[in-house]
């Protein structure tokens, strides 16, 4: 048993992180917030060139030929960077929809009762008849609701969990950074135990989710994937709330990034059906 990242996996993860830092810095994130609903095609193609969408596609089909764990690591980084766009849907379309692997074609898909990026995508998979636009809570994710929800693809659930994990890790970093620098009562707020414990819980939830998500990536077991989803949703959603609390009034502003993470975490938690489905799946497994 060697349940740690290999050298190659670490390098891949860091490579994706650096690519995103370069191509999608904070100014780009805020620019995307100010011009919602548009996909940055150049960035999309850069991701395609880097192999982001073709990671698990066999080499014979023009892909990178890596496995689920590598895809999970890349999606963790995407979640960490709060990268917008139908990333999971396009990744899953690589090999099936021409141009998806290369990042030329943006592919959206019905996931649960929602479709993200319906209008901006080139290709939409699933039954979208009767789709109704929502005024999306997440300024970075346009949403439509469909009357006939699609069953969840376990791989989509896993990659979404990986994004949630990345978001949770980032939120833990943001909280700790703020707690170290913000001063009240003549000392950094991170010296107060109530704040320390919020930060500790952020980390504990993220690290527990990490173990679950990575294990599910290795085994591919439906139960493990359902567990990963529950833990990662919790880490991202509760992590965002706690991070907001650590930021105080600043956390309640449009200016701080915390709300963007929280809103995206809510969107991802609805993608591919609700957490109830995952809980019921695991419960059924206990008596089978």
Partner 1 sequence: MDLCDTPEEAEFRARLREWLHEVLPGLPPKPDPADWPGRRAYDLGWQRTLYDAGYADVHRNASPALRMIFLEESEKAGAPYVGANFVGLLHAGPTIAAEGTDAQRARWLPPILRGEEVWCQGFSEPDAGSDLAALRTRARRDGDDYVVTGGKIWTSHAEVADWCELLVRTDPDAPRHHGITWLAMPMDAEGVTVRPLRTLAGSAEFAEVFLDEVRVPAANRVGAENDGWRVTMVTLSFERGTAFVGEVVACRRTLRQLACGARENGRWDDPALRRRLGRLDAEFRALWRLTQWNVSAAMAGGGVPGVGGSVFKLRYSAARQELYDTAADVLGPDALDLDRPWVLDRLSSLSYTIAAGTSQIQRNIVAERMLGLPKGR
Query: Based on CB atoms, which residue is closest to partner 1, 11 or 283?
Result: 283
State which residue, 229 or 259, has the beta carbon closest to partner 1: 229
Nearest to 123 by CA among 96, 105, 141, 136: 105
Closest CA to 143 of 100, 109, 173, 177: 109
- Minimum Å gap between C-beta 247 and partner 1 is 15
DSSP 181: H
Angle, in degrees to the nearest 10, between helices 258-270 and 222-247: 160
Q: Residue 16 CB, nearest distance to partner 1 (Å)?
A: 16
> Least separation, in Å, of the C-beta of 82 and partner 1?
21
Distance in Å, CB of 198 to partner 1, minimum:
9
**Unique residue bearing structure tokens 């890349």:** 74
Cα torsion 271, 74, 80, 238: sign: positive
Instruction: Give whichever of 96 and 204 is closer to partner 1, judged by the CB atom.
Output: 204
How far is 26 from 28, CA to CA, in rounded Å? 5
Tokens of 149: 């929800």
**Which is closer to partner 1, CB of 13 or CB of 125?**
13
Rounded to a whole number of angstroms, the minimum distance from the CB of residue 118 to partner 1 is 31
C-alpha distances (whole Å) from 13 to each of 24, 142, 150, 242 are 16, 28, 31, 26
Please, which residues bridge with residue 134 across strands? 143
Shortest distance in whole angstroms from residue 267 CB to partner 1: 21
Nearer to partner 1, 81 or 176 (CB): 176
Q: Pick the closer one to partner 1 by CB: 3 or 254.
A: 3
What distance in Å separates the CA atoms of residue 274 and residue 277, rounded to the nearest whole number?
6
- CA dist 214 → 89, 115, 163, 274 (Å): 20, 26, 12, 21
Where on the chain is the footprint of partner 1 (CB under 8 A)? 1-6, 9, 69, 172, 176, 179-180, 187-188, 190-193, 195-197, 199-201, 203-204, 207-212, 214-215, 217-219, 223-224, 226-228, 230-231, 276, 278-283, 285-287
């Amino acid at each position: 048993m060697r349940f740690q990242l290999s050298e190659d996996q670490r390098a891949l993860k860091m490579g994706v992180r650096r690519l995103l830092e370069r191509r999608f810095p904070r100014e780009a994130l805020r620019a995307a917030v100010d011009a919602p609903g548009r996909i940055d095609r150049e960035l999309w193609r850069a991701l395609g060139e880097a192999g982001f969408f073709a990671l698990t596609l066999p080499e014979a089909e023009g892909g990178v030929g890596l496995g689920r764990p590598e895809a999970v690591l890349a999606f963790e980084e995407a979640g960490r960077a709060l990268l917008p766009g139908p990333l999971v849907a396009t990744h899953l379309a690589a090999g099936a929809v021409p141009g998806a692997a290369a990042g030329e074609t943006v592919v959206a898909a019905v996931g649960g009762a929602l479709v993200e990026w319906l209008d901006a995508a080139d290709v939409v998979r699933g039954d979208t008849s009767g789709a109704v636009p929502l005024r999306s809570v997440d300024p970075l994710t346009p949403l439509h609701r469909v009357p006939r929800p699609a069953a969840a693809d376990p791989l989509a659930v896993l990659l979404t969990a990986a994004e949630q994990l990345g978001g949770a890790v980032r939120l833990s970093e943001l909280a700790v950074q703020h707690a170290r620098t913000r001063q009240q009562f003549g000392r950094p707020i991170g010296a107060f135990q109530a704040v320390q414990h919020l930060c500790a819980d952020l980390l504990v939830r993220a690290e527990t989710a990490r173990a679950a998500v990575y294990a599910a990536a290795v085994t591919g077991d439906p139960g493990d994937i359902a567990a990963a989803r529950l833990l990662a949703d919790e880490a991202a959603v509760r992590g965002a709330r706690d991070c907001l609390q650590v930021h105080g009034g600043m956390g309640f502003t449009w200016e701080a990034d915390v709300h963007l993470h929280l809103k995206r975490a809510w969107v991802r938690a609805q993608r591919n059906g609700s957490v109830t489905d995952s809980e019921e799946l695991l419960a059924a497994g206990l008596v089978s």
